Amino acid sequence: MKFLKDPPRFLFFTGKGGVGKTSVACASAIELATRGRRVLLVSTDPASNIGQVFGVTIGNTVTLIEAIAGLSALEIDPEQAADAYRERIIAPVRGLLPERELASIAEGLSGSCTTEVASFDEFTNLLTDDSLLQTYDHIVFDTAPTGHTIRLLQLPGSWTEFLNAGKGDPSCLGPLSGLEKHKTVYAAAVAALADPRRTRLVLVARAQASALSEIDRTHAELAQIGILGGYVVINGLLPVGAGTEPIAAAVRTRESAALDGIPPTIAILPRDLLALKTGNMTGIRALRDLFQADSDNGVSPQTLVEVPNAPLGQFVDELEQAGHGLILCMGKGGVGKTTIAAAIAVSLARRGHAVHLTTTDPAAHLVDTLHGTLPGLRVSRIDPDEAIREYRNHVMATKGKNLDDDGRAALAEDLLSPCTDEVAVFRQFSKAVHESRHEFVVVDTAPTGHTLLLLDATGSYHREIARQMGEGMAFVTPLMRLQDSALTKVLLVTLAETTPVLEAEELQQDLQRAGIQPWGWVVNNSIAAARPESPFLLARAANEVTQIDRVFDHADRVAIVPLLADEPIGVDRLTALTAPGRG
């Protein structure tokens, strides 16, 4: 593997969600440990699953992977990090301030901004902690999906600039209050990220145009903050042994076309190709085999694999009955939420309904997926930059209207805080929730970690409104609308693979704890539902059956969408996904 030749101390694996970043990062950590190196594998993904990959419980403390000499792992858990961060701020004044004031401070530290700051704080420590640098030869980062990675890697620079400028008024004082003493740590983290002798960026993608475009954008955005160069890994290529049946030939043709059209800025980077395996990438044996071109870890059944007929069109039939409502497509990055959301929106619009299709995903490609327009269908994207500009203008025009020049200058500085973007995006999301009372609003959400941060912002807003309104006052918050099963239908989109199903199970539990009951599950891109014939694809299909059975154990409603020979791009192909009997 080119990307593992003479590796520096820090290796970052990033790319679009669902491309196999975690598998490649875990396999790389094993390979380095096998060479006799001391390795710490770290996940900075709010939806981390490296513990599931190794079959051990890891969490927010360094844990030895006993089966691999020299390998340890750590998952930066956002909630645990936020709890510890809050305690560091509140502990020194506990007993000195009244309980009411302590509760107010805790409330100010309950939002998603605090969660992100706390995770960032732990992340930068890993880059600068002398004891860790003496203990480990390499620290391998399995980063969050691209949108989160950009945010995380930009934070050291933005917070350093923010603190050096002496900004930060009371509205962001809570989350920032634990940062001031760490300016030198952030500056050192920036230096480490920008030094190719210490840091290597590995861009992981599938042979798909959207995934390759995503790592091209990632490469360009990281270059702007001084992280240059990098290596490309194309994961999950269909091997020659997969056969020549129509579905295999179509996939292979799509992959070749995507590689031929790889963006020029990343085409010149060193590149490795990894073949698709029949089995799931869980367990040490599977991970050891990932880099072996001639190995496989599955079996090859010779009989057809049957799965239930569960067409997506049945979902649309039932969703249509209310005449309006909020439809949220959630799940792990890379499972096809954008496609499913677009297919449902197109089908509802073609049935004569007014439909607003929108996304909260920084890495979404709704326009590319639709590839056209349709009467009755309005498409938008909650763009963070645009939302921030709108939010800042709104605050300056309202809160800043009656301030003097010094007051307006101070307010403008406060609005430059990196905390602002979560608030701004949440404000846009709330508008979409409100619109669903009169029309269909279909939301293609961000990957799971972003979704949970968004819901956390929704919950924080709900608690604040409830506190301000007091007992006996009537009010409706966005969280209350999400909890209203008559208005909101949450669809969990997954693949028939171990990790996506596990993540969807965990997401369902998180939603239920927030009082939100998922309405249905969608199993997307099912090889088994495509009824393959070649031994390789039959082996992949056989591995799906257990996962599909697990989905039926968790859900009252299930739709199964087959892997298609032609990508579902364009209004006509999206319509076909919800046609009667398609499943």
Catalytic position from the list 15, 18, 108, 520: 18
> Closest Cα partner for 583 from 369, 313, 226?
313
Per the residue annotation, which of 15, 17, 20, 147 is the catalytic one?
Answer: 20
| Catalytic-role residue among 347, 499, 575, 578 | 499
Return d(Cα 60, Cα 80) in angstroms, integer: 7
Active site residue 34: no
For the chain, the distance separating the N- and C-terminal CA atoms, rounded to the nearest angstrom, is 39
**Candidate list 23, 146, 460, 498, residue with the active-site label:** 23
Cα-atom radius of gyration of the chain, to the nearest Å? 24
Catalytic residue among 15, 17, 44, 45: 45
Query: Residue for token digits 């875990």?
Result: 26
Q: Are 78 and 113 in contact (CB under 8 A)?
A: no
Virtual torsion, Cα 250, 256, 262, 264, nearest 10 deg: -150
| Catalytic residue from among 16, 21, 332, 489 | 21
Of 448, 388, 445, 381, which Cα lies nearest the Cα of 419? 388
Examine the residue annotation and report whether 20 is marked as an active-site residue of this protein: yes
22 given a catalytic annotation: yes
Q: Which residues pair with 231 in a beta bridge?
A: 202
For 152-190, the DSSP string reads HHHHHHHHHHHHHTT---GGGHHHHTTTGGGHHHHHHHH
Whether the CA torsion 501, 502, 506, 507 is positive or negative: it is negative
Dist CA 447 CA 451 (whole Å): 6
* Under 8 Å between Cβ of 122 and 196: no
Say how far residue 129 (Cα) sits from the centre of its chain: 27
Distances (CA, A) of 114 to 431, 450, 468, 499: 23, 14, 21, 28
Question: In whole angstroms, what is the distance from residue 273 CA to residue 37 CA?
Answer: 24
Marked catalytic residue, from 14, 17, 22, 331 = 22
Hunting for tokens 């006052």 — which residue is that? 473
21 among known catalytic residues: yes
Matching residue, tokens 């956002």: 78
Of 303, 342, 321, whose CA–CA distance to 443 is shortest? 342
Q: Which two tokens stand for residue 541?
A: 């299909």
Strand 71-75 with 63-64, pairing = antiparallel
Catalytic residue list contains 226: no
Active site residues per annotation:
18, 20-23, 45, 499
